[in-house]
Each structure stands twice: as structure tokens, then as C-alpha cells.
């Protein structure tokens, strides 16, 4: 993700309201020697429901490759649509070391510099299953969450639509439909298993659920405009085409998936 461009139109698009976690949400933080990083586990206690069936596009691919060492180059910078790395397969992380933690910390830096509340590794050109987020944004450092190899194990609560933006789509926002509730299994930066229930009937839980689903889509090679209804997609289509043309001019010969085109089979990214 995710620029902080929205929340229920309480402020103009582009200036997201800082949301408080409801008293009905229980939050557990596990601190470690890097004091600015915390694993934020949220269990929404009111109105949470789930179904037993996970939609196919939210299931982690069985053929996902594994990496024993996360390779990346600092400093990171945001990858913009339609860079093929946003559609590539993202590998499962099998080693939890200082390099992984350093990557997560630099992702948090980039997220804050771009005024975001969430960021997935492919958005900085690193095709691994890693995301970071902070529902409060850069005004509340120390509330960050790091999720490694997340999996969706249940969804529920029906669907709801709200404005979304994305750091990989500068200047573009439009309504996106998401599940209200989502149950997640993941690992933290130390490799410990964590379970999360995101959603519920309060604004804070629904906000967290939406952030997670947006970032999780990136790990699945799904971009936010893929989930837009035609009426929501139409206003930003010219902006998408402009980004496509800009990328094509800067990277001649690189094959890209343009808006409206059927997806090509995803492949592991080798850069370009």
C-alpha cells in the first residue's frame, strides 16, 4: 500500500484521519531489542464472524518457491505500476536473520517517507512474502507490525467498500470492495507463529483488516485496481494508462500487463 488517502471521507482524500483502536480490540505487543519495531496482534472482540471457505485468490500458492536468504539493495525505493515485479511470484521466507530485519526496517522507513500506513516487499522490488504496516502512520512510530509469510485462513462479515490509494500508484484513489473480517496466520521477524483476527464492527478493526488485505494482495500479485468495479475503475483508467506509457518509455522492451488485459502466468522475478 498504501498511501493514507482515505478513511470514510471524514477528511479529504489524501489526508487520512488518524484512527484510534477501539476499547473492544485487544492489542498485544511483543517488543525486542529493536525498540522501534513491534508485532501488533489485534483481536477484534465485537461483531467478528468468519466463514470456512477462503476464496481461491486469497490462498497462498502451493508452488511458492522458498528463499533461504533475502537479497536486497539499500536504499529501497517504491516500485510503480506497471513494473512486472508487482505481478511476480513472491517467495516464502525460510531464514529469519539480521538481513530480514534490516529489510523490514528499511521498508518502514520508505513507508513513512511516502506517508503510507502499509507496504509489501514487492512494492520495493523485493519478491518475498513480507509486509509491514502501522495503522496510525508516521505520527505514531513504534506501532509497526511485521508479518512474514502471512496466510489467510478464514474470511467473513460480508463485504464493504471504501476509498483506497496505493504507494505504487501515485495520485490514484478509488473505491475497493474488501471482506470485513479476516483471520490470518503468519510469522513475526523472529520466525515465531502469530495469529490475528482483523475486522469486527468497530472502525479501527475494519481499518486494520483493509490495510492487511491490500498488502496481502500485493503478495498474491493482485493490485488494487484488479478488485475495482467498472464504475470505480473508469475514473482512474487514464491515470493507469499514463503510468503504463511512462514505464514503457523508460523501459523499452519490458513486457507489462496493461489495464484490462488478462493476466499472464506469474513468474519469479529476475529484475530487468
What integer pLDDT is reported at residue 47 of this predicted model?
A: 54
Average model confidence (pLDDT) across the chain: 84
Q: Which CATH number fits domain 25-45+59-250: 3.40.1350.10, 3.40.50.300, 3.40.630.30, 3.90.45.10?
A: 3.90.45.10
Looking at the predicted structure, is the pLDDT value of residue 45 above 70? no
CB 150 within 8 A of CB 131: yes
Q: What is the mean pLDDT of residues 21-26?
A: 28
**Grid cell listed for 57:** 485468490
- SS3 sequence, the chain? CCECCCCCCCCCCCCCCCCCCCCCEEEEEECCCCCCCCEEEEEECCCCCCECCCCHHHCCCCCCCEECCCCCCCCCCCCCCCCHHHCCECEEECCCCHHHHHHHHHHHHHHHHCCECEEEHHHHCCCECEEEECCCHHHCCCCCEEEEEEEEEEEEEEEEEEEEECCCCCCCEEEEEEEEEEEEEEECCCCCEEEEEECCCCHHHHHHHHHHHHHHHHHCCCCHHHHCCHHHHHHHHHHHHHHHHHHHHHCCCCCCCCCCCCCCCCCECCCC
Q: What is the mean pLDDT of residues 174-189?
A: 98
Looking at the predicted structure, is the pLDDT value of residue 240 above 90? yes
Q: What is the mean pLDDT of residues 246-258?
A: 97
Q: What residues contact residue 160 under an 8 Å CB cut-off, 6+ apart?
A: 177, 178, 180, 206
Looking at the predicted structure, is the pLDDT value of residue 262 above 60? yes
Phi, psi (rounded to 5 degrees) for 141? -65, 150
What integer pLDDT is reported at residue 53 of this predicted model?
A: 81
CB 105 within 8 A of CB 85: no
Please identify which residue in the block is written with the cell numbers 476509498.
163
Looking at the predicted structure, is the pLDDT value of residue 31 above 80? no
Furthest CA-CA distance within the chain: 53
Q: What is the mean pLDDT of residues 81-99?
A: 97
Q: What is the mean pLDDT of residues 39-61?
A: 65
What residue spans define the domains of the chain? 25-45+59-250
Higher pLDDT, 40 or 196: 196
Looking at the predicted structure, is the pLDDT value of residue 267 above 90? no
CB 164 within 8 A of CB 174: yes
Q: What is the mean pLDDT of residues 230-238?
A: 98
Residues with catalytic roles: 215
Q: What is the mean pLDDT of residues 123-146?
A: 96
| Parallel, antiparallel or unpaired: strands 66-67 and 92-93 | parallel
Q: What is the pTM of this model?
A: 0.83
What integer pLDDT is reported at residue 21 of this predicted model?
A: 31
What integer pLDDT is reported at residue 261 of this predicted model?
A: 83
Confidence of residue 156 (pLDDT cuts 50, 70, 90): very high
Q: What is the mean pLDDT of residues 6-27?
A: 30
What integer pLDDT is reported at residue 92 of this predicted model?
A: 98
Looking at the predicted structure, is the pLDDT value of residue 3 above 70? no
Higher pLDDT, 35 or 117: 117
What integer pLDDT is reported at residue 61 of this predicted model?
A: 87
Amino acid at each position: 500500500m498504501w498511501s493514507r488517502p482515505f478513511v470514510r471521507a471524514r477528511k479529504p482524500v489524501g489526508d487520512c484521519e488518524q484512527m484510534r483502536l477501539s476499547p473492544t480490540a485487544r492489542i498485544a505487543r511483543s517488543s525486542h531489542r529493536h525498540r522501534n519495531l513491534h508485532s501488533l496482534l489485534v483481536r477484534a472482540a465485537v461483531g467478528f464472524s468468519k466463514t470456512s471457505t477462503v476464496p481461491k485468490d486469497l490462498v497462498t500458492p502451493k508452488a511458492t518457491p522458498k528463499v533461504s536468504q533475502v537479497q536486497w539493495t539499500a536504499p529501497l525505493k517504491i516500485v510503480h505500476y506497471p513494473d512486472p515485479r508487482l505481478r511476480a511470484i513472491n517467495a516464502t521466507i525460510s531464514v529469519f536473520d539480521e538481513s530480514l530485519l534490516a529489510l523490514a526496517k528499511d521498508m518502514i522507513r520508505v513507508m513513512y517517507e511516502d506517508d503510507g500506513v502499509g507496504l509489501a516487499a514487492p512494492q520495493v522490488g523485493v519478491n518475498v512474502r513480507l509486509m509491514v504496516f502501522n495503522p496510525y502512520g508516521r505520527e505514531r512510530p513504534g506501532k509497526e507490525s511485521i508479518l512474514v509469510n502471512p496466510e489467510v485462513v478464514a474470511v467473513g462479515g460480508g463485504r464493504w467498500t471504501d476509498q483506497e490509494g496505493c504507494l505504487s500508484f501515485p495520485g490514484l484513489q478509488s473505491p475497493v470492495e474488501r471482506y470485513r473480517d479476516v483471520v490470518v496466520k503468519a510469522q513475526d521477524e523472529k520466525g515465531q507463529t502469530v495469529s490475528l483476527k482483523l475486522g469486527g464492527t468497530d472502525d479501527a478493526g475494519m481499518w486494520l483488516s483493509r490495510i492487511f488485505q491490500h498488502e496481502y494482495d500485493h503478495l498474491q500479485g493482485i493490485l488494487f485496481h484488479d478488485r475495482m468495479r467498472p464504475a470505480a475503475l473508469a475514473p482512474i483508467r487514464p491515470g493507469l494508462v499514463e503510468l503504463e506509457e511512462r514505464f514503457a518509455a523508460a523501459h523499452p522492451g519490458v513486457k507489462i500487463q496493461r489495464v484490462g488485459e488478462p493476466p499472464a502466468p506469474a513468474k519469479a522475478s529476475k529484475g530487468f
